[in-house]
A and B are shown apart, each in its own frame.
Chain A
Amino acid sequence: MTVIKTRINRRSFLKVSSAGSAGLMISFSWLASCTPGTKTLEIPEEWYDLNAYIKIGNNGVVTLFSPNPEIGQNVKTSMPMIIAEELDVDWKQVIVEQATLNTDKFDRQLAGGSQSIRHGWDGLRMAGATARRMLMEAAAKRWQVSVDGLTAEKGIITNPAIGDQLGYGDVALDASNLEVPEEVELKEIKDFQLIGKRVKNVDAKKIVTGQPLFGIDYAGDEATKVAMIVHPPAFGMKLKSMNDDEVKAMPGIHEVVRINTSLEEPQWSDTNAFNELVAVVGTTTWEVMKAKQALQLEWEADGSLENTTDHEFAMKDSMEQMEGHVAREDGDVSKAFAEADEIVERTYTAPFLAHNTMEPMNFYANVSADKAELVGPIQTPENLRESASKLLGIPEANITVDMTRMGGGFGRRLYGHFGLEAAAISQAIQGPVKLVYTREDDMTQGTYRPAYRVTYRAGLDKEKNLVAFEAKGTGIPGSPLFANRFPAGTVDYYKVTNYWVNTNISTGAWRAPRSNFTAGAEQAFLDEVAEAAGKDPIDFRLELFDRAIKNPVGEKNDYDPERYAGVLRAVREQANWGENKPGVYRGVAAYYCHNSYVAQVMDVVKDGDNLPKIQKIWCAVDCGIVVNLEGAINQVEGGMIDGIGHALYSQMTFENGTPQQNNFDGYRLIRNQEAQMDIDVHFVKNDKHPTGLGEPSLPPVIGALANALYQATGRRFYEQPFALEYEKVQMG
């Protein structure tokens, strides 16, 4: 039995706050509460707060607050599952509500880096276990017996001595008045009843019936105006002059305002394309959209106007002509290459990518003289509150931020400028406003995934052993390489050098930052090295891991080689690697990022002169304990399809600073027809601390894809998007 202290952190989050937060929650409960499954629960007459995460009704119905923002990574189901497990309550009796931003009660209310589960695990278990203990103590008092003899299961407390039972609802009031115990016992992992099961998305019923849930669905009351922004057409431009006379006279248009969201000391999450914008405010979306088109705006250059073709040269030049920063060097690498019997050197590139969450950026703001109410889809609500406070000159204590379900995040909603813009517009017009981006607004002022370029070199000795490895990376801006990740630690002579190209195009985190490129490039390169060494690609990698297990090079190796090798062995078995199926071509890849290990085998088949078709993917994952098996599989599947789609089809290019793609005609995303494949996901079973799944399956699949395509076509793929590279080759 694990015993943990309940007061490990300063923020004693298990304290019950006095009045509770009910007031605000009620005002927009349409986007908060949800009952699992399809059954509607009877709402109790009274609720009793056990702690910040749990309230229990007099009839035994339990509300669990999900602290972190939901972007589709399914934490609104999996985080409450962890509480419910330790609370020992029947999942059918649970209502899940999205918690509001409350830094006194909750830690790290952020969605990013696949970290919600990993960071939340201990606190969520503690919240459940503590409440369970308090309910049992309340029952013991009622029966005037010692708590030690009692048991609790599925919301029922039993006194085995006399066979009496009390429901959680019967003792919730008493329990809520008890002192929080100093320490509580947690369940043994083997005793988990709910964790590890397939549990359905708690919002699914609302999603499939079209209930209001998302930020774009929230528009406050009738007084709320619709706002849209106009931003410069190109990076490196700004507004010179504006004529809004005609627009102001258009039906349904109230105001045209210029806003400026610059902050004296911006934080990382304030990254954005443009601070100075024009906002059109009106009654309905369509009227505002039309007015936007009619605005007469003149723009002027304010910096360099960049081009994709120049970017390609700039990246190459940076690696050839700049000094670079050596991030790691083990042994004398130039000497090792000079002595190598054979050298393989390859260069990989990838373009800028837009996030393209299906729900465009939007936010609701209601700012008055001394307070502000912000509601919308945001991955970083705490940062938004801090920046809004600075921008509006209103203390943080007077600003509320409520998180809606998000129609995708992928890193885009880490950067809350649209929340600030809504706040600025609301302050300017002195009333509530709903800011909505068009797809074009969204795609052409992104926080794009940077463009990247990496050159790898591998040196083999006479016996075809890998003896030297070098990677040089650059990007616009910055290198995608991780110096201490595999294959660091497996080769005696190893070096990583990073370069940089400046840009005025705004960039940021995009699902599995840097890994989303590096994994594919590195895994494709290793495939070529294995081939040069005359080795099976899985055996080749396993030999390297063996070296890292038995006799690692250097001390700072950022992975566990046993777990890495573990997923490779698992996928080898799963896919029956080595089996020869006529007409089927296979590629393999493995990667570790965001604390989880993933290996994949992909099968492709030829399709005439077209790019080969993906038939099946096997995927082995080690993310420690799996919390929700259903959600976990869904994340892994989606991550792979997302990775494949972007590697094959997507790119954002620029001409004179102007994004060349602005909607889904120019910008290609993977569609149903291209995603007709079988996927088989396997989780390595262990009792390790759970880690996230929102990102880790995406990066390696690009390597598996490149390697399978090579087997089928005899061509290596070096430039993303691969479908375009293939087309160029086909056309000669």
Chain B
Amino acid sequence: MATFTLTVNKKKHTVDVDPDTPILWVLRDHLKLVGTKFGCGKALCGACTIHANGSAIRSCTLPVSAASSLELTTIEGLSEKGDHPVQKAWLEHDVPQCGYCQAGQIMSAASLLASNPSPSDEDIATAMNGNICRCGTYTRINAAIKTAAKNS
């Protein structure tokens, strides 16, 4: 066990955990931020996507010991009122079915738009390919990203 200070959603948190604990479990178990989801634990599905210094990363494979210097943002901190252009577009397109993958999808999409404000279909497919949706909402996800691009 060791003590780590993390910056999550602009707030500092100190946790006492095993150094190899993935950020995903620090968020869910210790900080009670359960919006970030567990899907595979191996960086294969994207359900756990968060931002580290603004870029999308898979929190299930990022150990807490490597995260102290990073500004982490989770779905809960993406916007204050749930009104990030991507979140708004998700509502407008009524994207979710079961909804489980969507926090990860939204975090990947927000990071894509931050670096590429008007992505092509191909850019979207490449950036979003790591996020699985078992319910098959991909066409809505992609339409919502286009809308968000227009509105941001």
Which A residues contact B (CB, under 8 angstroms)?
38, 71-74, 198, 200-201, 203-205, 207-214, 216-217, 226, 251, 284-287, 289-290, 356-360, 405-410, 436, 438-439, 630-631, 634-635, 637-642, 645, 663-665, 669-673, 675-679
Contact = CB atoms under 8 A, between A and B. Distances in A.
B134 A634 contact: no
B96 A439 contact: no
Interface centre among B21, B40, B137 (most CB of A within 10 A): B40
Cβ-closest 6 pairs across A and B: A210-B35, A72-B98, A407-B100, A641-B136, A210-B75, A675-B138
Contacts of B119: none
Contacts, number: 194
Given A204-B90, A207-B102, A642 B136 contact: yes
A438 B136 contact: no
B136 A675 contact: yes
Contacts of B62: none
Interface string B99-139: 11111001000000000000001001110111111111111
B82 A359 contact: no
B39 A673 contact: no
B136 A286 contact: no
Given A74-B97, A358-B98, A251 B18 contact: yes
A203 B99 contact: yes
B45 A664 contact: yes
Interface centre among A630, A634, A645 (most CB of B within 10 A): A634
B119 to A, nearest CB: 12
A671 B44 contact: no
B27 to A, nearest CB: 10
A290 B29 CA distance: 15
Contacts of A216: 34, 37-38
Contact of B74 (A210, A438, A642): A210
B39 to A, nearest CB: 5
Interface of B: 1, 17-18, 21-22, 25, 28-30, 33-42, 44-45, 47, 74-76, 78, 82, 87, 90-91, 94-103, 106, 121, 124-126, 128-142
Given A201-B94, A664-B45, A673-B129, A640 B103 contact: no
Nearest to A698: B136
Given A72-B135, A286-B22, A408-B134, A210 B76 contact: yes
B82 A205 contact: yes
Given A358-B100, A664-B40, A634 B94 contact: yes
Contacts of B76: 209-210
B121 A676 contact: yes
Nearest to B28: A285
A359 B90 contact: no
B132 A669 contact: yes
B99 A407 contact: yes
Nearest to A639: B136
A645 B136 contact: yes
Contact of A360 (B18, B29, B38, B103): B38
A99 B113 CA distance: 39
A377 to B, nearest CB: 10
Nearest to A697: B136
29 contacts: A38-B82, A72-B99, A73-B97, A200-B91, A200-B94, A201-B96, A203-B96, A208-B103, A209-B35, A210-B33, A210-B36, A214-B99, A286-B25, A287-B18, A290-B18, A358-B101, A358-B132, A360-B39, A407-B99, A407-B101, A408-B98, A436-B38, A438-B41, A439-B39, A439-B40, A631-B94, A638-B136, A664-B44, A675-B139
Contact of A672 (B21, B38, B90, B138): B138
Given A360-B38, A639-B136, A671-B132, A209 B75 contact: yes
Contacts of B103: 207-208, 210
Contact of A679 (B22, B135, B139): B139
A604 B35 CA distance: 38
Contacts of A405: 98-99
Contact of B87 (A209, A217, A409): A209
A280 to B, nearest CB: 15
A676 B140 CA distance: 10
Nearest to B90: A208
A407 B18 CA distance: 29
B50 to A, nearest CB: 10
Given A210-B35, A210-B74, A410 B134 contact: yes
A671 B136 CA distance: 9
A408 B29 contact: no
Nearest to B29: A284
Nearest to B82: A209
B100 A672 contact: no
B128 A672 contact: yes
A637 B17 contact: no
A358 B133 contact: yes
A639 B101 CA distance: 16
Contacts of A438: 41
Contacts of B136: 637-642, 645, 670, 675
A640 B133 CA distance: 13
A296 to B, nearest CB: 21
Nearest to A211: B35
Nearest to A635: B97
A6 B104 CA distance: 46
B44 A286 contact: no
A687 to B, nearest CB: 26
A250 to B, nearest CB: 10
Contacts of A71: 98
A642 B34 contact: no
Contact of A208 (B25, B96, B137): B96
A672 B25 contact: no
A203 B142 CA distance: 20
Given A38-B91, A634-B97, 19 more contacts: A71-B98, A72-B96, A204-B96, A205-B91, A207-B96, A210-B35, A217-B34, A251-B1, A284-B30, A405-B98, A408-B135, A410-B134, A641-B136, A663-B42, A669-B134, A671-B129, A676-B121, A676-B142, A679-B139
Contact of B137 (A359, A630, A634, A677): A634
B142 A672 contact: yes
B139 A677 contact: yes
Contacts of A214: 37, 99-100
Contacts of B75: 208-210
Contact of B29 (A285, A671, A678, A679): A285
A665 B34 contact: no
A226 B21 CA distance: 15
A209 B142 CA distance: 19
A285 B25 contact: yes
A38 B21 CA distance: 36
Given A210-B75, A641-B136, A679-B139, A673 B125 contact: yes
B123 to A, nearest CB: 11
Contacts of B30: 284
Contact of A638 (B1, B21, B137): B137
A287 B39 CA distance: 18
Contacts of B99: 72, 201, 203-204, 207, 213-214, 405, 407
Interface centre among B36, B37, B97, B137 (most CB of A within 10 A): B97
Nearest to A72: B98
Nearest to B98: A72
